[in-house]
Structure 1
Amino acid sequence: MISLNPYLTLTVQSLGHEAQHLIIVDEVLSDPQALIAEAGEAAFRTPAPGSRYPGLNAPLPQAYKTLVATELLPRLLPHFGVTPQPLPLFGFFGVATQAPDAMDVRQAAPHIDAFSLNSFASVHYLFEGDLGGTAFFRHRASGHELITPSRSYSFERAKRLELDGFEGSGEAARSQFFEPIAAIEPRFNRLIFYRAGQIHYGQVQASSPRRLTANLFFGIR
Structure 2
Amino acid sequence: MLDTNFSYQVQHIGHEQQPILIIDNFVKDARSLIGYAMTKNDVAPDRGHYPGLRSKAPDLYQHLLVSQLADLLKNVFSLGSEDLRRADSYYSVVATPVSDLSVIQQLAHFDHPKNDELAVIHYLCNDTHGGTSFYRHRSTGYESINQDRHEDYFAILEKDINQLGASREPKYLNGDDEIFKRILSVPAKFNRAVIYRCSSLHSGDIPSDYKFDMNPYTGRFTIASFIHS
Aligned to 1:214: 223
Residues 172/34 of structure 1: CA separation in 2 closer, same or farther (3 Å cut) = closer
Report the AA paired with residue 76 of structure 2: H
Aligned to 1:149: 147
TM-score (normalizing by structure 1)? 0.90
2:44 alignment partner, SS class: coil
Report the AA paired with residue 154 of structure 1: D
Aligned to 2:58: 61
Aligned to 2:70: 73
2:5 alignment partner, SS class: coil
Report the AA paired with residue 55 of structure 1: G
The 5-angstrom pairing of residues 161-172 of structure 1 reads 161-164=159-162, 166-167=165-166, 168-171=168-171
Q: Work out whether residues 22 and 192 of structure 1, in 8 Å CA contact, stay in contact via their aligned partners in 2.
A: yes
Q: Distance in 1 between matches of 2:70 and 2:106?
A: 29
Q: Distance in 2 between matches of 1:101 and 1:24?
A: 32
Q: Distance in 2 between matches of 1:135 and 1:17?
A: 15
Aligned to 2:106: 108
Aligned to 2:45: 46
> What is the CA deviation profile of residues 121-165 of structure 1, one whole-angstrom value per residue up to 9, with x for unaligned ones?
000000124211111100001001011221111112222332357
5+ residue gaps, structure 1, are: none
Q: Distance in 2 between matches of 1:180 and 1:124?
A: 21
Q: Work out whether residues 58 and 92 of structure 1, in 8 Å CA contact, stay in contact via their aligned partners in 2.
A: yes
Identity of aligned residues (%): 25
Report the AA paired with residue 169 of structure 2: S
Aligned to 2:199: 197
1:37 alignment partner, SS class: helix
Residues 184/129 of structure 1: CA separation in 2 closer, same or farther (3 Å cut) = closer
Does the alignment pair 1:98 with 2:96? yes
- Does 93-102 or 121-130 show the bigger shift? 93-102
5+ residue gaps, structure 2, are: none
Question: Runs in 1 of length 4+ with deviation above 3 angstroms?
Answer: 99-102, 170-174
For residue 102 of structure 1, report the CA deviation from its aligned partner.
4.3
Q: Work out whether residues 99 and 204 of structure 1, in 8 Å CA contact, stay in contact via their aligned partners in 2.
A: no
For residue 37 of structure 1, report the CA deviation from its aligned partner.
1.0
Residues 191/172 of structure 1: CA separation in 2 closer, same or farther (3 Å cut) = closer
